[in-house]
Structure 1
Amino acid sequence: MTDMFETRKARASAWFRSLRDEIVAAFEGLEDTQGGGQEPGRFDVSETTRASDDGSDAGGGLMSVMRGGRVFEKVGVNVSTVYGTLGERAVQAMAARKDLSGLRDDPRFWASGISLVAHMQNPHVPAVHMNTRMFWTPSAWWFGGGSDLNPAIEYPEDTATFHDVLKDHCDRHQPAYYPRFKAWADEYFFVPHRGRARGVGGIFYDDLNTGDWEADFAFTQDVGRAFLPAFLGVVEKRRHAAFTEADREAQLVHRGLYAEYNLVYDRGTKFGLETGHDANAVLMSLPPVAKWT
Structure 2
Amino acid sequence: MTAEMIEEKARAAAWFRQLRDQIVAAFEGLEGSHSEGPFSDMEPGRFEVTQTKRTSDDGSDAGGGLMSVMRGGRVFEKVGVNISEVYGTLGDRAQAAMAARKGIPGMKDDPRFWASGISLVAHMRNPHVPAVHMNTRMFWTPHAWWFGGGSDLNPCIEYGEDTAHFHATQKQHLDPHGEDQYPRLKAWADEYFYIPHRKRARGVGGIFMDDQNSGDWAADFALTQDIGRAFLPAFVPLVEKRRVQDFDEAAKDAQLIHRGLYAEYNLVYDRGTKFGLETGHDANAVLMSLPPLAKWV
Corresponding letter in the other structure for 1:248: K
> What's the CA shift string for 1:184-205, capped at 9, x where partnerless?
1001000000010010000110
Distance 2:21 2:127 in 1: 26
**Aligned residue for 1:244?**
248
Q: Does 1:180 align with 2:168?
A: no
> What's the CA shift string for 1:2-42, capped at 9, x where partnerless?
11111111000000000000000000000000022221100
Distance 1:162 1:234 in 2: 8
> What's the CA shift string for 1:103-131, capped at 9, x where partnerless?
22210000000000000000000000000
**Aligned residue for 1:26?**
26
Name the SS for the 1:59 alignment partner.
strand
Corresponding letter in the other structure for 1:157: E
> What's the CA shift string for 1:152-182, capped at 9, x where partnerless?
0011110000000111111111211111110
Q: Does 1:203 align with 2:207?
A: yes
Unaligned runs of 5+ in 1: none
My pick for the range that moved more, 167-176 or 76-85, is 167-176
Unaligned runs of 5+ in 2: none
**Aligned residue for 2:70?**
66
Distance 1:108 1:55 in 2: 16
**Aligned residue for 1:53?**
57
Q: Does 1:83 align with 2:81?
A: no
**Aligned residue for 1:119?**
123
My pick for the range that moved more, 35-44 or 208-217, is 35-44
Distance 1:48 1:76 in 2: 13
Corresponding letter in the other structure for 2:30: L
Distance 2:137 2:112 in 1: 17
Matches within 5 A, 1:143-182: 143-182=147-186
Find runs of 4+ consecutive structure 1 residues off by over 4 angstroms: none
> What's the CA shift string for 1:42-66, capped at 9, x where partnerless?
0000000112101111000000000
**Aligned residue for 2:283?**
279
**Aligned residue for 1:37?**
41
Q: Does 1:191 align with 2:195?
A: yes
Question: What do you get for the CA RMSD once the two structures are aligned?
Answer: 0.7
Q: Does 1:110 align with 2:114?
A: yes
Name the SS for the 1:50 alignment partner.
strand
> What's the CA shift string for 1:223-263, capped at 9, x where partnerless?
00000000011111111001000000000000000000000
Corresponding letter in the other structure for 1:30: L
Name the SS for the 1:153 alignment partner.
coil
**Aligned residue for 1:12?**
12
Name the SS for the 1:102 alignment partner.
coil
Distance 1:287 1:7 in 2: 37
TM-score, length-scaled by structure 1? 0.99
Identical columns (%) = 76
Distance 1:19 1:116 in 2: 11
Alpha-carbon distance, 1:94 to partner: 1.3
